[in-house]
Chains A and B, each alone.
Chain A
Amino acid sequence: MKSLLVLLLVPFFMTQTATVEVVKWEGLEKALANKNGKIKVVNFWITGCKTCVEELPHFEQLHRSFGNQVEVILVNLDKESIEETKVNPLLEKNRITAKVFLLNESDQNTWINKVEPSWSGAIPATVIIDQNNHRRLYEKSLTYAELVKIIHDIHKP
């Protein structure tokens, strides 16, 4: 009976919207360095950036379809003060279940180069980290098809 209940609840939890984890740079750095054998797709966004918000569903779709080989990490750069009013409603609206961090670091000059030295700081931006910690920067919007192609290219021998 108990296990049946668990089974019934699993799909319910799986579709729950992501809860935002507020981190400092050290917290994000740890997540980016986590060796779990998955390709990391790290997207930087804010709620006030139209093109960033438009591409969020592509990352969510990637997370749902390739979750076994790809770890999607959505890094929100909004002020922590608008987490409840702006960030969470937007995640709910887009049914985001992928991992979401809110990077609470006001001095951006201290961490942009640590993510990827070739990044100018412009968003939308996505950094894709393969299993060998090789980083590819995309300082532009990405479609779902583009994301899938990048993942396939990484898998090619």
Chain B
Amino acid sequence: MTRVAIFIMLVLVSINAAFIIYAYKLEDEIKDIHLPNVDGKMVSLQDYPKAQGFIIVFTCNHCPYAKAYEERIIQLQEKYASTYPVIAINSNDGVAYPEDNFEGMKKRASHKKYPFVYLHDESQEVARIFGATKTPHVYLIHKEQGKNVIKYVGAIDDNYADESAVKKHYVEEAIAALGKGQEVTVKETKAIGCSIKWK
């Protein structure tokens, strides 16, 4: 009888595992990330014990929207490196889009002197767990009692085409609110981006 029960339980567990649809939501605690950086070293969120959180941004080399935000991502890192460091992740299929393969990432990072880590999500698992769909796609993480919690999802600001015309700096405003111990007012935004190129 117990054996039957254990067997049924195992079947149920495996069915469950096969059908879990990942995609974090706001206020979810995220799992740690282990991905290779363009410098060849592995990066984990635990490498940043003093950070108050992270600006995780799914981006890539080829996409016009990612290109439009490249300078602004650099500026975010320059401003928040010690508090909310940028973790840039490229999950695109580097075979269909050779510009986005690991070599292409290394070239771009060195050419533009990226001050942030630029991680390669070759298996695309991290993008799937986050539910990222496009580039750029930002997840702002805040450390709360040792947990990495999602506080904002969406765009960097409200004007991809013209930085000088930006009215709402979504990511910076969310960081400012968190710094004051306040609730983030705009928790989610949508912007046009290039679809992540799935394998």
Contact = CB atoms under 8 A, between A and B. Distances in A.
Interface of A: 44, 46, 48-49, 51, 77, 79, 106-109, 112-113, 119-125, 139-140
B129 to A, nearest CB: 16
Contacts of B191: 108-109, 112, 121
Interface stretch (B25-33, B45-53, B118-126, B156-164): B156-164
Contact of B161 (A48, A106, A120, A139): A106
Contacts of A122: 133-134, 192-196
23 contacts: A44-B192, A49-B63, A49-B194, A51-B195, A107-B158, A107-B159, A107-B168, A108-B155, A108-B190, A109-B154, A109-B158, A109-B189, A112-B190, A113-B190, A121-B191, A122-B195, A122-B196, A123-B134, A123-B193, A123-B194, A123-B195, A124-B195, A140-B195
Interface in B154-199: 154-155, 158-162, 165, 167-168, 189-196
Contacts of A51: 195
A98 B168 CA distance: 35
A139 B165 CA distance: 29
A76 to B, nearest CB: 11
Q: What 4 pairs across the A-B complex have the smallest Cβ distances?
A: A48-B64, A122-B134, A122-B195, A120-B133
Interface size class of B (residues with CB under 8 A): 20 to 34
A77 B160 CA distance: 11
Nearest to B131: A120
B167 to A, nearest CB: 8
B159 A139 contact: no
A106 B190 contact: no
A139 B195 contact: yes
Contact of A109 (B155, B193, B196): B155
A68 to B, nearest CB: 32
A120 B190 contact: yes
Given A108-B192, A123-B193, A79 B158 contact: no
Contacts of A46: 64, 192
Nearest to B198: A140
Contacts of B189: 109
B83 to A, nearest CB: 25
Contacts of B162: 106
Contacts of B161: 79, 106
A106 B192 contact: no
Contacts of A77: 192
Contacts of A113: 190
B183 to A, nearest CB: 19
Tell me which of B160, B195, B196 has the highest count of chain A C-beta atoms within 10 A of its own C-beta.
Answer: B195
Given A109-B191, A121-B193, A140-B195, 12 more contacts: A46-B64, A49-B64, A49-B194, A107-B159, A108-B155, A108-B192, A109-B158, A119-B190, A122-B196, A123-B194, A123-B195, A124-B195
A106 B196 CA distance: 22
B196 to A, nearest CB: 7
Contacts of A106: 158-162, 165
Given A46-B64, A48-B64, A121 B159 contact: no
